[in-house]
Amino acid sequence: MRIFLFLFLSFNLLSDIPVTKNNLPTKKEIRKLADQASIYLHKSNYEKSFASSRLALKYAIAIKDDYLIAKCYNTIGSNYEQFSEFDKAIVYYEKGLDFATKSKNDTVKTYISNNLGNIYFFEKKQYEKGIKYYNKSLEFFEKNKDTSRIVFTKLNITWAYFDIGKFEQGKPYLDYINKHQNKYNESKALVILNMLNGMYYGYIGKNEKANSSFMNAIKIGRETNEKVDLSYSHQEYSKYLLKKRNFEKAYQNLDQYNKITKELNDSEQLKRAYAVGANLEIDEYKRKISKIKAEKQLQFLSLKKSKFIVLLFIFLLFITLLILYILYKSYIFKKKTNTILTLANEELIIAKEKAEEVSHLKTQFVSTITHELRTPLYGIVGLTNLLLDEHKELVNSPYLNSLKFSAKYLLSLINDVLQINKIEDNRIVLEHLSFNMADEINSIQNSLSFMAINHNNTINVIIDPNIPEFIIGDKLRLSQVMINLISNALKFTKDGEVNISVKLIEIVNSSYYIEFEIRDNGIGIAEKDQEKIFDNFVQVDRKEMDYQGTGLGLSIVKRLLDLFGSTISLESKIGEGTTFKFVISFELDTVESLKILNLIEVEMPASKVVNVLVVEDNLINQIVTRKIIEKHSFTCSIVNSGIDALEIVEKEKFDIILMDINMPIMNGFETTKKLRQKGINIPVIALTAFDKEEIVEEALSAGINDIIVKPFEPVKLFQLMNTLMLQNRNKILSN
């Protein structure tokens, strides 16, 4: 018998059998009773295990709980397995499997499959069937990444292969268990693991290691009082010693095996357990008899109603003939109507095609307009920054600050319109990338600090320390939601506070549910306006102040949260402020987190001179880009076209290329393709006014390494440049 796995799966440390006040206990009390039966089984108290299972099964059937019925049948089958009554065990396991399937509870279904695997492999010698059941269990545990249960299942499979002498087939499973034994230090597993190591070392002739492993198994079994597993360890050690012709020690271990087995199978205790088991079987027969009686009663009632049914059938037949006549008449009418509908449908198809064409033209129009607006905006923002950098006396100039604000406002408007257009066209797909929540929120706070200062507001941030350092989700869309809500709060608050709270509220499997709250003490929103503020282009009554804006921010927030599978709640009172709340789930992936840690951006050595090639046909953009690059102490060369770029890379050596996309004669995609065809692997960053998602596929196929959308933050450009140059340098060194 191989019982250690189902004991692990069945065993939960719970309280004693509940004392119920009513005739029928609660589901929680029945569950405790079923768990207590598993505990008695683990302690080899089969009499009490049978009694508890019988009572729990009776109650579970009464409340029609398929999961608890399956659990009770599993424990009953396990008891019969201990008595070596394997046919009865299989009957009860299969009953449990049926109810587990009905309950749609994969966990208990998997436990029963494992127990069936034990019987079919070790007792029935139906090896293929046994392995099939084991693999079903293993598939479920691997799907749910339940490493501890994977270890125990693979322990069973290893033992199964070793038992029939297929040591090489069992070796990969043994390697996996050895690798994870420190993480899952269960006493039952350690006893059997050492025993299996002893069997394998004995097979390959490493006698010293074999003896050591067997002795470790026996030592741990004695210390932890795992008598069943200790008996198996003595038995297998005896077999090994017999092969080594050490007859005396072999006999001693065999004697220990017999003593422990006798102790476990105390005859008086088994007699009492058999008596309880017999009562349990009587219950099963009674249930069958009750079912038969109920079926007979139903048959009697059915016969009694047969006359009525015959009359009803005749009546229904008459109705059916009448309906058929009506249907025939309807068919003639429908045929005529279908001809008319077909013509109307053809007209609708033509109208639909025209509407799709108009929608496509609208998308193209929005994309083209945003591109054409971003290009001069890049020049305006860049030149404004250069003037402020080169002429510090103009830092407080109201004209330059107004120009910079207007440019950023126009850029925000363009981005909002583009965002709405993409959402309406279903062109947004959430990304799954690792990021640091605290860094992202702090970055948003810093980017909005100027707006807070202008309104004399304070931004307070509270981030739950229980949130993992690295989580996986779409940080770009999250940032868009947070920036819209926080900037909205700052805009409608003066001389006040905006509080940002990020709190972990629930963990389900590997999903971390995080609640975001943005609360201000601004002017508030009237109750009559709270329903409509999430619609496009809606702005509530501005009264005495002009808050500006397109009325798209909250509409974008609502639609982006729909993509996350989340909803936003709003609480507000006039003059007291507004609170927005929403919850998003993120995934935790430690492997990805380690990768992120290994890929943290490293600055290029200060001593290295970085030579940058800028391919740009717009003269103003050339000036702006050159100033940004040279300010960072990089050297910069500029060419006006893709053709010039192909010529200059043949003559000079560059560390990185900044490539405009929309150029005459030869665009950025064609230029990059030709560079790659020539074997030139210099990193290329597309510096473009196009929306990133519109060109990312074509950019990657052309050989472009990454994309920066104009206007951009210089810091992000240099971070990306450093990362790509470092990756390229490491690639060259590895080759």
Say if CB 444 and CB 401 are below 8 A apart: no
Least confident range from 101-105, 322-326, 367-371, 607-611: namely 367-371
Average pLDDT, the chain: 79
State the average pLDDT over residues 287-306.
66
Q: How far apart are CA 363 and CA 29, in angstroms?
A: 62
Record the tokens describing residue 358, joined without a space: 């108009």
pLDDT score of 458: 92
State the average pLDDT over residues 104-130.
79
CA-based nearest residue to 618, from 639, 589, 594, 596: 639
Q: Residue 6: pLDDT band by 50, 70, 90 thresholds?
A: very low
pLDDT score of 398: 62
Q: Residue 179: pLDDT band by 50, 70, 90 thresholds?
A: confident
Side-chain half-sphere CA neighbours of 666 within 13 A: 16
Question: Residue 725: pLDDT above 50?
Answer: yes
Residues 461 and 538 both lie in one domain: yes
State the average pLDDT over residues 644-665.
91
CA-based nearest residue to 533, from 522, 549, 514, 545: 549
pLDDT score of 40: 86
Stronger pLDDT, 148 or 31, i.e. the higher one: 31
Stronger pLDDT, 596 or 132, i.e. the higher one: 132
CB atoms within 10 A of CB 304: 9
Least confident range from 22-31, 358-367, 457-466: namely 358-367
pLDDT score of 12: 37
Side-chain half-sphere CA neighbours of 407 within 13 A: 21
Q: How far apart are CA 223 and CA 117, in angstroms?
A: 29
Question: Residue 540: pLDDT above 50?
Answer: yes
* Angle, helices 167-180/147-163, rounded to nearest 10 degrees: 150
- Provide the β-strand partners of residue 518: 500, 580
Q: Which of 598, 630, 654 is the last residue of a domain?
A: 598
Q: SS3 for 514?
A: strand
pLDDT score of 604: 46
Q: Residue 439: pLDDT band by 50, 70, 90 thresholds?
A: confident
Residues 360 and 446 both lie in one domain: no
CA-based nearest residue to 684, from 694, 667, 188: 667
Does the residue 323 lie in any domain? yes
Q: How far apart are CA 471 and CA 473, in angstroms?
A: 7
pLDDT digits (tens, 9 = 90+) for 574-592: 988 999 999 999 988 665 5
Q: How far apart are CA 402 and CA 409, in angstroms?
A: 10
Q: Which of 224, 249, 273 is the last residue of a domain?
A: 273
State the average pLDDT over residues 184-196.
76
DSSP 659: E
State the average pLDDT over residues 191-196.
88
pLDDT score of 14: 34
Residues in the chain: 735
Does the residue 328 lie in any domain? yes
Residues 446 and 584 both lie in one domain: yes
Q: Residue 425: pLDDT band by 50, 70, 90 thresholds?
A: low
Say if CB 103 and CB 70 are below 8 A apart: yes
Say if CB 31 and CB 72 are below 8 A apart: no
Phi, psi at 473, each rounded to 5°: 180, -170
Residue 36 sits in a domain of what CATH number? 1.25.40.10
Q: Residue 657: pLDDT band by 50, 70, 90 thresholds?
A: very high
Highest-confidence segment of 3-7, 123-127, 286-290: 123-127
Residues 594 and 615 both lie in one domain: no
Element (H, E) at 160: helix 147-163
Q: How far apart are CA 366 and CA 44, in angstroms?
A: 75
pLDDT score of 157: 86
Least confident range from 8-12, 20-24, 628-632: namely 8-12
Residues 500 and 537 both lie in one domain: yes
Element (H, E) at 34: helix 27-42
Element (H, E) at 701: helix 692-702
pLDDT score of 427: 59
Does the residue 84 lie in any domain? yes
State how far the alpha carbon of 249 is from the alpha carbons of 227, 237, 256, 257, 541, in Å: 20, 9, 11, 12, 95
Q: Please list, in sequence order, all residues whose beta carbon lies within 8 angstroms of the beta carbon of residue 556, skipping any fewer than 6 positions away.
A: 416, 419, 420, 423, 480, 481, 484
DSSP 636: E
Residues 552 and 635 both lie in one domain: no
Look-up of token digits 């069997």: 199
Sign, CA dihedral 72-73-74-80, equals positive
**What is the CA angle 36-224-133, rounded to 5?**
60
Stronger pLDDT, 90 or 732, i.e. the higher one: 90
- How many domains does the chain contain in total? 5
CA-based nearest residue to 2, from 200, 156, 164, 127: 156
Q: Please list, in sequence order, all residues whose beta carbon lies within 8 angstroms of the beta carbon of residue 566, skipping any fewer than 6 positions away.
A: 582, 583, 584
Does the residue 424 lie in any domain? no
Residues 558 and 625 both lie in one domain: no
Stronger pLDDT, 298 or 38, i.e. the higher one: 38
Does the residue 422 lie in any domain? no
Highest-confidence segment of 121-135, 353-367, 545-559: 121-135
Does the residue 697 lie in any domain? yes
Say if CB 194 and CB 217 are below 8 A apart: yes
Residues 590 and 615 both lie in one domain: no
Residue 632 sits in a domain of what CATH number? 3.40.50.2300
Record the tokens describing residue 218, joined without a space: 């026996």
Q: How far apart are CA 59 and CA 284, in angstroms?
A: 13
pLDDT score of 364: 58
Sign, CA dihedral 205-206-211-213, equals negative
pLDDT score of 608: 62
Question: Residue 513: pLDDT above 90?
Answer: yes
pLDDT score of 156: 83
Residue 85, Ramachandran bin (φ over 0: left; ψ between -120 and 50: alpha; else beta): beta
Q: Residue 274: pLDDT band by 50, 70, 90 thresholds?
A: low
- Provide the β-strand partners of residue 574: none
Least confident range from 188-197, 310-319, 458-467, 528-537: namely 528-537
Side-chain half-sphere CA neighbours of 1 within 13 A: 21
Residues 156 and 263 both lie in one domain: no
CB atoms within 10 A of CB 415: 17
- Provide the β-strand partners of residue 688: 709
Question: Residue 472: pLDDT above 80?
Answer: yes
pLDDT score of 636: 93
Say if CB 659 and CB 672 are below 8 A apart: yes
pLDDT score of 457: 92
Say if CB 359 and CB 425 are below 8 A apart: yes
Burial class of residue 714, CB neighbours in 10 A (0-12, 13-18, 19+): middle
Residues 111 and 199 both lie in one domain: no
What is the SS3 assignment for 410-438? HHHHHHHHHHHHHHHCCCCCCCCEEECHH
State the average pLDDT over residues 552-568.
83
Least confident range from 193-202, 379-388, 532-541, 653-662: namely 532-541
Does the residue 401 lie in any domain? no
* Angle, helices 147-163/106-118, rounded to nearest 10 degrees: 20
State how far the alpha carbon of 710 is from the alpha carbons of 380, 549, 621, 660, in Å: 11, 22, 10, 10
CA-based nearest residue to 641, from 660, 669, 658, 656: 660
pLDDT score of 607: 46
State the average pLDDT over residues 254-280.
65
Residues 544 and 667 both lie in one domain: no
Residues 368 and 313 both lie in one domain: yes
State how far the alpha carbon of 600 is from the alpha carbons of 541, 590, 593, 730, in Å: 47, 15, 11, 14
Element (H, E) at 685: strand 684-688
- Provide the β-strand partners of residue 637: 613
Whether the model pTM is above 0.85: no
Does the residue 295 lie in any domain? no
Residue 481 sits in a domain of what CATH number? 3.30.565.10
Q: Which of 394, 423, 443 is the last residue of a domain?
A: 394
DSSP 537: T
Domain range spanning residue 697? 611-734
